[in-house]
């Protein structure tokens, strides 16, 4: 069996998408599902390739028990459209960028993270990079809520089939 592969995507892969990766990873581990999912994050632009998450993101996340320290920024590649089942995007601008980049042989389903939110009406997770700490906290609030909804979606749609054919790898 191959694990179900999810990649969270924002512009620079130092604020929103690593936050989503860290939050989702912990949700998955809490449910005992880490053998069934492969979780990553990337950015549409390579401004920060190889860098750790923004210290403000890491600090706010750590206060709520999320560890982002092992995450390193990388840029989305054409192969990500084949290697991942889901590309979960933080905003409509980066969604449009991915749509233009999408190769014809792509298999990944591309969705906005906020489609899965139960509490927020916004379609985009705002970029907190140029703002203060409250912006990073709001991003974390939004990501926590939408990530729970996304996991529930996967449990109802994809994970039952993945677990039936189990012998985890990847």
Residue 161 to residue 154: CA distance in whole angstroms: 10
Tell me the whole-structure pTM to 2 decimals: 0.93
* pLDDT score of 161: 61
Would you tell me how many other CB atoms lie within 10 Å of the CB of residue 30? 10
Query: What confidence score (pLDDT) does residue 167 get?
Result: 46
Per-run averaged pLDDT (10 residues), the chain, 170 residues: 90 98 97 95 96 97 97 97 97 97 95 98 97 95 98 87 54
86-120: string of b/e by CB count within 10 Å (b at 16+)? Answer: bbbbbbeebbebbeeeeeeebebebebbbebbeee
Of the candidates 7, 10, 15, 80, the residue annotated as catalytic is: 10
The active-site residue, picked from 54, 80, 127, 145, is 127
Residue 123 annotated in active site:
no
- Annotated active-site residue in 15, 16, 26, 40: 16
Q: What is the pLDDT of residue 43?
A: 98
CA distance 22 to 24: 6
Residue 159 is predicted with a pLDDT of 75
pLDDT on residue 31? 95
10: annotated active-site residue? yes
Active site residue 138: no
By three-state DSSP, how is residue 91 classified?
coil
């Amino acid at each position: 069996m191959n694990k179900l592969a999810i990649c969270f995507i924002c512009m620079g892969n130092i604020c929103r998408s690593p936050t989503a990766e860290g939050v989702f990873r912990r949700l998955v581990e809490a449910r005992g599902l880490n053998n069934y999912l492969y979780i990553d994050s990337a950015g549409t632009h390579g401004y920060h390739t190889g860098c750790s998450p923004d210290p403000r993101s890491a600090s706010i996340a750590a206060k709520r028990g999320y560890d982002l320290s092992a995450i390193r920024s990388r840029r989305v590649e054409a192969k990500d459209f084949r290697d991942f089942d889901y590309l979960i995007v933080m905003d409509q601008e980066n969604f449009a960028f991915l749509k233009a980049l999408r190769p014809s042989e792509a298999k990944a389903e591309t969705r906005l993270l906020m489609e899965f939110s139960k509490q927020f009406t916004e379609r985009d997770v705002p970029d907190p990079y140029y703002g203060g700490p409250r912006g990073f906290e709001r991003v974390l609030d939004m990501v926590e809520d939408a990530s729970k909804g996304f996991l529930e979606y996967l449990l109802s749609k994809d994970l039952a089939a993945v677990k039936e054919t189990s012998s985890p790898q990847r």
